[in-house]
Every structure is written in structure tokens, then in C-alpha cells.
């Protein structure tokens, strides 16, 4: 008896997040949550990471600082 196992393809977290953030509605909700959390805990680094993630997913690399 031969058993064949299918290999499922898994994306890493960054790829999965970028794909979800490419959707404008999802990105808006993601930033709303990030802003709420920033208002609660004051963690600007976490908020800015969320902004960066959305900008990258939406094609924001075009305006990256080149200095």
C-alpha cells in the first residue's frame, strides 16, 4: 500500500500579510487597530511598522528616501 502525501504550500508571515494589506479595506482596518493601540500604549514604533507594512503592500517603495 502506497501512501501519497500532498505538500501544502505555505507562505511566510510577511508574504501573507502583504497580500492581505494589498486590499484597501483590510489595510484601513489594520491601520485603525494600529492607531487604537498606539493611543492606548504610546508605542510609536509599532504604529510606524504598521504604516510601513501598508505602504509596502500598496506599492509605497516608490517614494523611499534615497539620501
pTM of the predicted structure, to 2 decimals: 0.72
Look at residue 60 in the predicted model and tell me its pLDDT: 73
- The residues, any chain, with a CB within 8 Å of residue 4's CB and separated by 6 or more, are none
Confidence band, pLDDT 50/70/90 cuts, at residue 12: confident
Each residue's pLDDT tens digit, 18-66: 999 999 999 999 999 999 999 999 999 999 999 999 999 998 765 555 5
Among candidate residues 15, 25, 21, 7, the one with its CA nearest the CA of residue 52: 21
3-state helix, strand, coil in the chain (%, to 5): 65, 0, 35
Amino acid at each position: 500500500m502506497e501512501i501519497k502525501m500532498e505538500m501544502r504550500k505555505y507562505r511566510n508571515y510577511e508574504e501573507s500579510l502583504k497580500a492581505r494589506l494589498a486590499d484597501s479595506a483590510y489595510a484601513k482596518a489594520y491601520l485603525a487597530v494600529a492607531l487604537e493601540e498606539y493611543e492606548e500604549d504610546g508605542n510609536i514604533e509599532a504604529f510606524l511598522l504598521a504604516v510601513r507594512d501598508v505602504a509596502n503592500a500598496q506599492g509605497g517603495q516608490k517614494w523611499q528616501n534615497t539620501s
